[in-house]
Amino acid sequence: MLNANADEISLAVASNFSAPAKKIAALYQQKTGVKISLSSAGTGVLYNQITNGAPFDMLFAADDTTTHKLAQNKFAMESTNFTYARGQVVLWSADPKLVDKNGTVLQKGAFAHLAVANPKLAPYGVAGYSVLQYYKLLPKLQNKIVTGDNISVTWQQVASGSADLGFVALSQVSYQGKLTSGSMWVVPTSIVPLIKQDAIVLEHGRNNNALPSFIKFLHSAPVLQILHDYGYQ
C-alpha cells in the first residue's frame, strides 16, 4: 500500500523518543504546514503493527536492528536507513533520595519493586537486563522485577510509585542536562554502550513526497538541539 499524500506524514516512534518527536513534529508542521501524526509504542510492538499492515510512513526505532529486519522482509527501504540518535539507559526513582550516583542501591536491594521493560519488545529493557547480568544480580532481584511493554509504561510504573525504581531512558527524566525529578544513576557506557537508534522509510511511505524534505529537516540545527536537550548524542 502506497501513500501519495504529500500533505501528511505518519510516524511510528519508539516510546523513549516520544517527547522529542512531538517537538520535532510541531516545529516541522509550523515551518511547512505538513501534518505529522505520531504513534508511540515499544519497538517490538511497532514492528508487529507494521508487519500486520499498519499504515506508517516511517519508523523511529529504539535499536539498530529492527529497521534492517523490516527491510529484509520487504516492509521498508534499506537505502533510507540512518541513525537518528544514540540514547542512554538510566536507573531512575521518583524518590529524590533512593538512587545514589553509583547505582549501589541495586546491590543493596532495599526496595520492593524494580521496573524493567519487556526485553522482547523494548531495547531499553534489554539494556536494563544487561545491567543486572553485569552485576550478577538477576537471581537476587528476579522476584522484584515488574514488567511493561515499553519504557513509557516503565516510567509510569516508577512515577506512580508502583515500582520504587526502574530502568528508563535518559531522555525521559532529564532536560537540558538537568534531572527533571527524583534521583538517577546514569549507567556507564562501559557497562551498556549508548543505544544506537535507527530510522527508516517504510513501504507505505515510498511515494510520500513530503518525506525527503522531512528527513533533511531531521539533520538541521534546531532538531539537533532538541536531541541534545533530551540527552541524546
Strand partners, 76: 202
Same domain, 82 and 99: no
* Average pLDDT over the chain, rounded to an integer: 95
Q: Where are the alpha helices (DSSP H) in the chain?
A: 18-32, 43-51, 66-72, 105-108, 123-134, 138-141, 151-160, 170-173, 211-218, 221-229
Nearest to 62 by CA among 131, 12, 9: 12
Q: Which residue segment(s) compose the domain that 132 sits in?
A: 89-186
Instruction: Check if the beta carbon of residue 40 is closer than 8 Å to that of residue 13.
Output: yes
Same domain, 120 and 179: yes
What pTM does this model have? 0.91
Phi and psi, residue 101, nearest 5°? -70, -10
Same domain, 105 and 68: no
Give the per-residue pLDDT at 91: 98
Same domain, 157 and 208: no
Q: How many domains does the chain have?
A: 2
Q: Residue 200 domain-assigned?
A: yes
Give the per-residue pLDDT at 233: 85
Nearest to 3 by CA among 200, 199, 198, 210: 210
Instruction: Check if the beta carbon of residue 165 is closer than 8 Å to that of residue 93.
Output: yes
Residue-level pLDDT, tens digit, the chain, 233 residues: 333 345 799 999 999 999 999 999 999 999 999 999 999 999 999 999 999 999 999 999 999 999 999 999 999 999 999 999 999 999 999 999 999 999 999 999 999 999 999 999 999 999 999 999 999 999 999 999 999 999 999 999 999 999 999 999 999 999 999 999 999 999 999 999 999 999 999 999 999 999 999 999 999 999 999 999 999 98
Give the per-residue pLDDT at 4: 38
Question: pLDDT for 95-123, tens place per residue?
Answer: 999 999 999 999 999 999 999 999 999 99
Same domain, 15 and 38: yes
Give the per-residue pLDDT at 2: 37
Same domain, 93 and 81: no
Q: Residue 2 domain-assigned?
A: no
Same domain, 98 and 114: yes
The residues, any chain, with a CB within 8 Å of residue 228's CB and separated by 6 or more, are none
Give the per-residue pLDDT at 80: 98
Which CATH number goes with the domain that contains 121?
3.40.190.10
